[in-house]
Amino acid sequence: MKSTNLKGKVAVITGASKGLGKSIALSLAEAGSDLALISRDIEKLNEVVKEASEFNITATAYKADVTDEKQVCSVVNQIIDQYKKVHILVNNAGINIRKPITDFTFDEYRKIIDTNVTGAFLMCRTLVPFMKGNGYGRIINLTSTMSHIGLPGRSLYCASKSALLGFTKALALELAPEKITVNGISPGPFMTEMNKPLIDSPELSQFFMLRTPLGRWGDPKEVGALALYLCSEEANFITGTDILIDGGWTAQ
């Protein structure tokens, strides 16, 4: 995808301070897209901005909690004031809490649902009006293999990501007349901070590797490359679907 040119495009990415969000940000920046990056961790986000700016694009860090309606409205207003328009939205902010259902508190339930589902809803509802009328638009929601399969201790994460997948499909139909595509990316086992407890445990790491036909953890750069393709002109006819990038896990 070295030929992909996103110069003149503006991409908003949530949860961009680390992991998959950071990789997507750098991938789009290398292709020429300007970036509006959102996270609650402004220090780490500023580091990503500095790295992305080396590609001679404009990148700005915005501190906001995507589960808070007022903060989302405020940050979108700031982005529009600076960039005037938005072409790409990547809803990457997400959390996972692993435990049996009987051990969850209601606050933990709300935290997972609000971050993984409500955050994407608020970002889409607030930004879509500024994406219409461009003749081009991309919304990418980071779903998960847990949108398709289940694992013990992941009940709430599975519920949230399955909801996000349904949201993705319906929104794709709604925005098709505006030439805005909406797709999901479902990562499997990737080397990210969220999966660090699994990676650091020899027993759990082996569990995942034995069930991944390609026999390794995914590199976050691979998700960045997939996101870049979905933002390209070559992907104009792809909408309302979810792309699994899981080393073959769900093919079994």
Q: Which whole number is the average pLDDT over 239-244? A: 98
pLDDT given for residue 2 in this prediction: 53
- Nearest alpha carbon to residue 85 among 181, 10, 194: 10
Residue 4 within any structural domain of the chain: no
Section 37-58 average pLDDT: 97
Q: Is residue 104 part of a domain?
A: yes
Residue 1 lies in a domain: no
Summarize the confidence of residues 2-25 as an average pLDDT: 92
Q: Which amino acid is at 210?
A: L
Question: What pLDDT is attached to residue 198?
Answer: 72
Per-residue burial over 39-49, b = 16 or more CB atoms within 10 Å of its CB, e = otherwise: bbebeebbebb
Confidence of residue 4 (pLDDT cuts 50, 70, 90): confident
- Residues paired with residue 3 on neighbouring β-strands, in sequence order: none
Q: Is residue 249 part of a domain?
A: no
> Which structural domain, as residue segments, surrounds residue 215?
10-244
Cβ proximity of 119 and 93 under 8 Å: yes
Determine contact, residues 138/82, Cβ cutoff 8 Å. no
Closest CA to 61 of 95, 35, 32: 35
Q: How far is CA 205 from CA 25, 191, 210, 233, in A?
A: 27, 11, 9, 38
- Record the tokens describing residue 90, joined without a space: 């990547």
CATH code of the domain in which 107 resides: 3.40.50.720
Is 160 contained in some domain?
Answer: yes
Pairing of strands 180-187, 59-63: unpaired
Average pLDDT on 145-166 reads: 96
- 148 within a domain of the structure (yes/no): yes
Whether the pTM exceeds 0.85: the reply is: yes
Task: Assign 12 to helix, strand or coil.
Answer: strand
CB 110 within 8 A of CB 117: no
Between these two residues, 201 and 101, which has the higher pLDDT value? 101
Q: Which residues are catalytic?
A: 157
Tell me the mean pLDDT in the region 173-186: 98
Tell me what pLDDT residue 208 has.
82
Domain count, the chain: 1
Confidence band, pLDDT 50/70/90 cuts, at residue 189: confident
Q: Quick check: 38 and 91 in contact, CB under 8 A?
A: no
> In 54-134, which ranges are continuous DSSP H helix?
69-83, 106-113, 119-131
Q: Which two tokens stand for residue 146?
A: 């847990």
Per-residue pLDDT at 3: 58
Which range, of 93-102, 151-160, 204-213, averages the lowest pLDDT? 204-213
- Of the candidate ranges 55-69, 183-197, 236-250, the one whose mean pLDDT is the lowest: 183-197
Q: Does the residue 240 lie in any domain?
A: yes
Q: How confident is the model over 57-112, as pLDDT tens digits? A: 999 999 999 999 999 999 999 999 999 999 999 999 999 999 999 999 999 999 99
Mean pLDDT of 27-37: 97
Among 17, 14, 102, which Cα is nearest to 52's?
17
Edge-to-edge strands, sheet with 88-91:
59-63, 34-39, 10-14, 88-91, 137-142, 180-187, 242-245
Within a domain: residue 2? no
> Average pLDDT, stretch 119-128?
98
Classify the C-alpha dihedral 75-161-180-118 as positive or negative: negative
Element spanning 35, H or E: strand 34-39
